[in-house]
């Protein structure tokens, strides 16, 4: 597989700290991610998974550290990065149709004022075909199911033909058929040496879906091939905070003579 | 009557001017209002307008000039100050946005009224014409004021047209706009700036108290007609323009009527007409859809009930309608009405209190019966619901099961060994 750039590292993050209202949400994150792989990000609620993606995209200011895309700043390499946000981040009642949403993926390329032309519409329709939604092109987005919404967001990112894709919980709240369609799509991207970073919530499918894994809980617990890092000790350390309180409480109940039932 | 004709003939140059200006104002206001409506920021426009009043008063007090420019500068400054005050309150204090808007709006407006009263007492006060800023008086505008209003409106409309795709994405998914490399904060400020512009130039014609309505109402009315943003914008512009015309028209007939309330009433009328008569989303359309669905449901129920009756009375083909009233749970008169409708459609032969299914009717009845029983079976055996619950559920679902869902249900049930072509009921059929 040919590498597409002289600098082979699609995403490098160095010593990145991100704060919301002065409270640190991500601490000292260091990451060097491999090209052409499906990379999962897991961690408990509030671990900063979405924040990590948004910070890489420059949507949230960093308190410290930097991000490099193929050795250059994100601002300069922007067109190489596609983004699939959480579908909950948008009001689906907005008066716009599916095709227009997908065309939004080309706005960066179009620049100011220019409207999408015939060729762009063609690209958008092709993109919709890849996610199986070409029949819905003129459909109002308020009429879509959860799985269909997710596919539209995917198509919007795909139309860019990016090298790197950042996806925030693409498998959340979708039906089984859509989930299969998405993972097939991801594997197709992988076969063309695209790098895909996915925030994921379902531990059961990690082994099956991903090659590389970032385990996050405000700081990076582990980052490496799934086979190497996805084990009990790391999971404890990642999700451990919650487990510890639970175990403490359980022990306390046990000490005080058990649950009040007899 | 003379005055009406005179107005319509557009002979009066001043009227022409003011009319053109009001059309442009109404259009700009409608268009900008669509974006504030979709952003859920409509009340901010209201805050801007009300907060502008003390600025108008101060502008006059400081310059004692009749020129519109210092008044508008004062108005803009005060309006923006108000919005900043709201933002500050929300960010630092423990005050929510709606309370912050209410507080700011009232305080600024109150100060403005006090200043206005004070100005009235001044020797030159009576000539100030400032009270026209409360409810607007388009007819009192000087040609250069109308010119300013028109230019600003046109600039606003052009900006929205040029940056249409940017503003649309800004409101829909600001994060994605940023990811595509656009300066979101800048665009946000620009949009806000357009709101400020429209509100300020509208103050003379519509007044501080009601300007917000000219922003919101045309946009809200337009929403009923379309799911296409472009059409919504065009309609909002149209509604705004019509409101402007009507406001100026009535104002010229009876010069003591302030134009603001008339414009707003016109916009509200258009809104009300939209809410009732818009196809698909209007009240009338919804009600008719409801009625149609109700009728179709009643017809399908009757067809199914007929078939079930025939199951219990094998061999018989003439069904006495009063036998169906019970199972259907409706009075006999309703059954007869439904039967008459079915008869027109050719699904039954209806004579003298008896009904007989035609071939077409029997096909439809079988399809409904099958859907009903498939669903009941599914609920009972696959979803483990209780037997006495499934019938009511199926009663409603049977009408909306699409062919592919029915196919999937059949496959599922066939795995359980059910004969889907001759499916029997999972509970005793009411006789």
pLDDT tops 50 at residue B347 = yes
- State chain A's maximal CA–CA distance in angstroms: 74
For domain A11-230, which CATH number applies: 3.40.50.300, 3.60.110.10, 2.160.10.10, 3.40.50.2000?
3.40.50.300
Q: Which of residues 89-128 of A touch B (CB under 8 A)?
A: 89-91, 94-97, 101, 104-105, 107-108, 110, 112-113, 115-116
- Hey, are the CB atoms on B181 and A108 less than 8 Å from each other? yes
Lowest mean pLDDT among A2-11, B94-103, B263-272: A2-11
Could you give the CA distance from residue A40 to residue A183 in angstroms, rounded to a whole number? 12
Q: Which residue of B has its CA nearest to A143?
A: B227
d(CA B51, CA B43): 12
Q: Is the pLDDT of residue B186 over 50?
A: yes
Give the number of C-alpha atoms closer than 13 A to the C-alpha of residue B294, restricted to the C-beta side.
8
φ, ψ dihedrals at A197, nearest 5°? -110, 120
Burial class (CB in 10 A: 0-12, 13-18, 19+), B11: exposed
Query: What is the torsional sign of CA B74, B76, B77, B80?
Result: positive
Question: Which of A51-55, B349-353, B427-431 comes out lowest in average pLDDT?
Answer: B427-431
pLDDT of residue A1: 41
Question: Is residue B9 exposed (0-12), middle (13-18) or buried (19+ Cβ within 10 Å)?
Answer: exposed
Q: Tell me whether residues A112 and B226 touch, CB distance under 8 A.
A: no
Selecting from B176, B182, B223 the residue whose C-beta is nearest the C-beta of A83 gives B176
3-state secondary structure B262-285: HHHHHHHHHHHHHHHHCCCCCHHH
Domain boundaries, chain A: 11-230
pLDDT of amino acid B104: 94
Contact, B200 vs B253, CB < 8 A? no
| 8 Å CB contact between B354 and B320 | yes
Pairs of residues, one from chain A and one from chain B, whose beta carbons lie less than 8 Å apart: 67
Distance CA B430, CA B309 (A): 8
Domains, chain B:
2-278 (1.10.3470.10), 286-422 (1.10.10.10)
On whether any CB of chain B is under 8 Å from the CB of A137, the answer is no
What global pTM score does this model have? Answer: 0.85
Q: Are B326 and B430 in contact (CB under 8 A)?
A: yes
pLDDT of residue A196: 97
> From start to end of B38-78, where are the E strands?
none
Please state the φ and ψ torsions of residue A19, each to the nearest 5 degrees. -125, 140
| B176 at A interface, C-beta within 8 A | yes
Model confidence band, residue B378 (pLDDT cutoffs 50, 70, 90): confident
Which residue numbers in chain A have pLDDT < 70? 1-6, 21-22, 241-262
Nearest residue of chain A to residue B91 (CA atoms): A21
Q: Report ipTM for this prediction.
A: 0.88
Position B140 confidence tier, pLDDT thresholds 50, 70, 90: confident
Please give the Cα distance from A221 to B414 (Å, whole number): 50
CB–CB of B226 and A89 under 8 A? no
What percent of chain B is helix, strand and coil (3-state, nearest 5)?
Answer: 75, 0, 20
- Each residue's pLDDT tens digit, B18-72: 899 999 999 999 999 999 999 988 889 999 999 999 999 999 989 887 788 899 9
Residue-level pLDDT at A262: 38
Residues B30 and B239 sit within 8 Å (Cβ to Cβ): yes
pLDDT of B187: 95
Contact across the interface for A97 and B228, Cβ inside 8 Å: yes
Rounded-to-integer distance, Cα B235 and Cα B362, Å: 48
DSSP class of B139: G
Closest CA to A240 of A259, A222, A224: A222
The pLDDT, as a whole number, for residue A257 is 53
Using CB atoms, which residue from B166, B173, B227 is nearest to A95?
B227
Q: What is the mean pLDDT of residues B266-275?
A: 97
Distance CA B213, CA B191 (A): 18
Q: How far apart are CA A87 and CA B401, in angstroms?
A: 28
| B184 CB neighbour count, 10 Å cutoff | 18
Q: How far apart are the first and last CA of chain B?
A: 72
A47-62 confidence digits (pLDDT tens): 899 999 999 999 999 9
B-chain residues within 8 Å CB-CB of A91? Answer: 172
Tens-place pLDDT, residues B216-231: 999 999 999 999 999 9
Q: What's the N-to-C CA distance of chain A in angstroms?
A: 66
Query: Chain B residues with CB inside 8 Å of A142's CB?
Result: 227
Note whether A238 and A215 are within 8 A (CB): yes
- For the sheet with A38-42, list strands across it: A81-84, A164-168, A195-199, A38-42, A212-217, A219-225
Residues of chain A with C-beta less than 8 angstroms from the C-beta of B177: 107
A75 CB neighbours in chain B (<8 A) are: 181
- Number of helices (H), then strands (E), belonging to chain A: the values are 10, 9
Q: Which residues of B touch A156 (CB under 8 A)?
A: 176
How confident is the model over B196-218, as pLDDT tens digits? 999 999 999 999 999 999 999 99
Q: How far is CA A15 from CA A12, A21, A63, A104, A200, in A?
A: 10, 19, 10, 32, 23
Give the CA count within 13 Å in the CB-facing half-sphere of A17: 9
Q: Is residue B369 within 8 Å of B302, Cβ to Cβ? A: no
- Strand-pairing partners, residue A66, are A14
């Amino acid at each position: 597989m040919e590498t597409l750039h002289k600098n082979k590292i699609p995403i490098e993050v160095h010593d990145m700290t991100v704060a919301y209202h002065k409270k640190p949400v991500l601490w000292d994150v260091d990451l060097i991610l491999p090209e052409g792989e499906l990379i999962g990000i897991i961690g408990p609620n509030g671990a900063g998974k979405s924040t990590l993606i948004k910070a890489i995209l420059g949507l949230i200011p960093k308190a410290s550290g930097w991000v490099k895309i193929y050795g250059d700043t994100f601002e300069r390499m922007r067109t190489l990065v596609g983004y699939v946000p959480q579908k909950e981040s948008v009001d689906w009642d907005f008066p716009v149709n599916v095709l227009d949403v997908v065309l939004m993926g080309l706005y960066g390329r179009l620049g100011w004022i220019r409207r999408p032309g015939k060729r762009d519409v063609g690209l958008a329709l092709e993109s919709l075909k890849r996610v199986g939604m070409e029949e819905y092109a003129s459909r109002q987005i308020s009429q879509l199911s959860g799985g269909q919404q997710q596919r539209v967001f995917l198509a919007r990112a795909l139309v860019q033909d990016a090298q790197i894709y950042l996806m925030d919980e693409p498998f959340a709240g979708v039906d089984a058929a859509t989930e299969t369609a998405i993972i097939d799509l991801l594997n197709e991207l992988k076969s063309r040496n695209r790098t895909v970073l996915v925030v994921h919530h379902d531990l059961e499918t990690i082994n099956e879906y991903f090659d590389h894994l970032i385990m996050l809980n405000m700081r990076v617990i582990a980052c490496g091939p799934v086979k190497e890092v996805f084990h009990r000790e790391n999971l404890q350390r990642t999700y451990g905070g919650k487990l510890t309180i639970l175990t403490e409480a359980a022990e306390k109940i046990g000490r005080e003579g058990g649950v009040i039932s007899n | 009557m003379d005055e009406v004709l005179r107005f319509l003939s557009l002979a009066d140059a001043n009227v022409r001017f003011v009319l053109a200006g009001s059309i442009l104002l109404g259009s700009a206001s409608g268009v900008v209002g669509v974006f504030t409506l979709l952003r859920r920021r409509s009340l901010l426009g209201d805050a801007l307008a009300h907060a502008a009043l003390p600025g108008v008063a101060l502008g006059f007090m400081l310059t004692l000039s009749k020129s519109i420019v210092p008044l508008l500068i004062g108005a803009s400054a005060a309006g923006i100050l108000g919005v900043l005050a709201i933002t500050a309150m929300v960010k630092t204090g423990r005050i929510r946005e709606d309370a912050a808007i209410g507080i700011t709006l009232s305080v600024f407006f109150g100060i403005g009224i006090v200043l206005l009263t004070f100005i009235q007492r001044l020797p030159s006060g009576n000539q100030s014409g400032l009270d026209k800023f409360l409810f607007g008086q388009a007819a009192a505008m000087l040609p250069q004021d109308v010119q300013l209003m028109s230019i600003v409106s046109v600039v606003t409309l052009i900006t929205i047209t040029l940056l249409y795709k940017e503003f649309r994405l800004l409101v829909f998914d600001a994060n994605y706009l940023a990811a595509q490399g656009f300066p979101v904060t800048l665009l946000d400020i620009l949009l806000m700036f357009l709101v400020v512009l429209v509100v300020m130039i509208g103050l003379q014609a519509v007044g501080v108290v009601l300007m917000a309505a000219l922003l919101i109402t045309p946009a809200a009315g337009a929403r009923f007609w379309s799911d296409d943003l472009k059409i919504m914008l065009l309609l909002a512009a149209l509604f705004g323009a019509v409101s402007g015309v009507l406001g100026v028209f009535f104002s010229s007939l009876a010069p003591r009527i302030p134009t603001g309330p008339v414009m707003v009433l016109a916009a509200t009328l258009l809104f009300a007409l939209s809410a009732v008569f818009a196809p698909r989303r209007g009240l009338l359309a919804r009600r008719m859809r409801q009625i149609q669905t109700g009728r179709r449901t009643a017809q399908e129920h009757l067809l199914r009930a007929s078939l079930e009756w025939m199951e219990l009375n094998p061999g018989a083909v003439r069904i006495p309608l009063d036998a169906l009233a019970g199972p259907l749970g409706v009075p006999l008169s309703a059954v007869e009405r439904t039967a008459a409708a079915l008869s027109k459609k050719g699904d039954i032969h209806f004579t003298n209190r008896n009904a007989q299914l035609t071939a077409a009717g029997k096909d439809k009845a079988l399809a409904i019966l099958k859907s009903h029983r498939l669903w009941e079976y599914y609920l009972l055996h696959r979803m483990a619901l209780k037997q006495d619950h499934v019938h009511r559920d199926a009663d409603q679902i049977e009408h909306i099961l699409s062919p592919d869902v029915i196919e999937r249900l059949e496959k599922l049930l066939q795995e359980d060994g059910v004969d889907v072509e001759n499916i029997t009921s999972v509970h005793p059929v009411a006789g």
